[in-house]
Amino acid sequence: MDHTPYRRTTTAGSHCAATTCSLVHQALSITAVGLAALVGSPGVAAAAPLPRCTDQGWVGVWAAAPSDASRGTDTSDSFDTDQFDQSMNPKSAVRNETTRAILTPTYGGSTARVRLSNRFGAVPVTFAHATIAHRASEAALVPDTVQALTFNGGQDVTVAPGHDVVSDPVGFSFQAFEPLAVSVYVAGDVGKPTEHYTARQTSYLTPEDAGDHTTDVDGGAFTQRTTTRPFVTGVDVLAPRSTGAVVALGDSITDGFQQPADVNTEAQDSLDVDGRWPDVLARRLLAAHRPLAVLNMGIAGNAVLQDGSTEGSDVFGPAAIRRLDADVLSQDGVTTVILLEGINDLSISPVATVDELIGGYRQLIERMHAHGLRVLLGTITPAGGAEGVPADAEAKRQAVNTWIRDKSPADAVVDFDAVVRDPADPTRIAPQYDGGDHLHFNLAGYQAMGDAIPLDQLRNPACS
């Protein structure tokens, strides 16, 4: 596997996580903090000493990037992503009802806070009551584990469109890969919720007007299910400064999507198994006793340069260059980013040129370096035989991968292409790793990708 020479970068600074904050204000604030930390001149006081490893700070241990709110712009000819999830469960408006999102943290803790989002909502959302608990099975909770979440000391909070909110800290203990449930009662009619479309994990909802069931343990009221994940976008824990996080920034391959051949729905046998390559990486870090969580910021269909609504489907999320502040730079405790995107830029109209895609990579890497983050850039995996991929995409992919291996300004390269390609036909995924559509991977393929990441290229937090 090829690696570019190690480059020293400054450590990541902590980022503001106000209880309710504008993403635009948040991005500007983060940029200002990053520049202040990096720019020095004669007469300016020396930077503050590094925090001690015994000091406490927030670190993200689970995350899912908001992708959309199903606003009715889907014009695809396969199935309507505004009306159905990828398992063909119907998607409805949320009105005076409770959602129960299931998630699996990649690191444990005993004091937590939860991130909720109305980033793509059309109207303000009132989260009237929210709880976190250990999940027993399906929508049922482990008795005596339900903890109420508060916001600025109150039970409820109203979040304007385009904004996120972070709960107050709550005493709540859990281990890595222990499934949790975040239940949110939404008052009023808010339309389709801000969601992460390709969750690959089943969450639950009550019917409309069912009221507050956030403290229900048996789960009987949650009669609807979804493989999207509404509202919930992150969990942070209070941990020693020696603990950090790795962000996986990518598209459907990072999201863990799997689609059998000639079927429009997602593969059902690999749902709820946490088999994405970032999950594999997180388990390796846990086994190696490395103090690093993994935050999966993949969005299926995402591109480096173009927003998901370009082709009519809004579930693909904003372009990576436009969501970087909200989905990466505002996360707590991040030290390293693994970037794997580009095949959609070369496949979805308007198709990017090689130079345009490389320019996008340069912009992303430069901005992440400016915030002291170590960046690993992944080579684009094969797509030969996949439906809808243009004939010239392979030549472009090879040109981009050559640049990634030889000239990328990233700190290291993860050669995913070399790991998963078919030796007999390098334009295609190896048969044992092909998920069925010749673009995505089965669990063995995602396992191979997660195993290919060199742990010595992931940075531990710097503390004295």
Predicted confidence (pLDDT) per residue in 225-236, tens digit:
999 999 999 999
For residues 298-314, give the mean pLDDT.
82
Q: Are residues 200 and 254 in the same domain?
A: no
One-letter amino acid at 298 equals: G
Residue 1 has pLDDT above 90, yes or no: no
Contact in structure between 180 and 142 (CB atoms under 8 Å):
no
Question: What are the backbone dihedrals phi and psi of residue 32, each rounded to the nearest 5 degrees, phi first?
Answer: -65, -40
Which pLDDT band holds residue 33 (cuts at 50, 70, 90)?
A: very low
More confident residue, 387 or 36: 387
> Are the C-beta atoms of residues 13 and 372 closer than 8 Å to each other?
yes
Query: How many domains does one find in the chain?
Result: 2
- 32 pLDDT above the threshold of 50: no
Would residue 289 be called left, alpha or beta, if left means φ above 0 and alpha means ψ between -120 and 50 degrees?
left
Write down which residue in 205, 234, 263 finishes a domain: 234
Read off the pLDDT of residues 34-91 as tens digits, 9 standing for 90 and up: 322 222 333 344 556 778 888 999 999 999 999 998 876 666 655 688 889 899 999 9
> Which segment of 13-17, 49-53, 97-101, 267-271 scores lowest on mean pLDDT?
13-17
State pLDDT tens for residues 350-376: 999 999 999 999 999 999 999 999 999
Which CATH number does the domain housing residue 201 bear?
2.60.120
In this prediction, residue 83 carries a pLDDT of: 87
Whether 162 and 265 map to the same domain: the answer is no
pLDDT for the residue 48: 66
Quick check: is 21 in a domain?
Answer: no
Residue 213 lies in a domain: yes
pLDDT-derived band at 311 (thresholds 50, 70, 90) equals low
The domain boundary, picked from 234, 257, 291, lies at 234
- What's the rounded Cα separation, in Å, for the pair 58 and 60? 7
> How many CB atoms neighbour CB 237 within 10 A?
27
297 and 431 fall within a common domain: yes
CATH number at 256 reads 3.40.50.1110
Percent of the chain with pLDDT over 90: 80
- Same domain flag for 168 and 225: yes
What mean pLDDT is predicted for residues 385-391? 93
Asked whether residue 61 is domain-assigned, the answer is no
Number of neighbouring beta carbons within 10 Å of residue 401: 21
Residue pair 411/9 in contact by the 8 Å Cβ criterion = yes
pLDDT tens per residue across span 153-164: 999 999 999 999
Quote the pLDDT of residue 263: 76
Residue 20 has what pLDDT?
39
Domain housing 96: 75-234
34 found inside a domain: no
Tens of pLDDT, residues 107-122: 999 999 999 999 999 9
Q: What is the mean pLDDT of residues 241-245?
A: 97
* Average pLDDT score, the chain: 89
Say whether both 321 and 193 belong to one domain. Answer: no
Residue 298 lies in a domain: yes
Length of the chain: 464
Instruction: Count the neighbouring beta carbons within 10 Å of the beta carbon of residue 368.
Output: 26
Q: Quick one: average pLDDT of 238-248?
A: 97
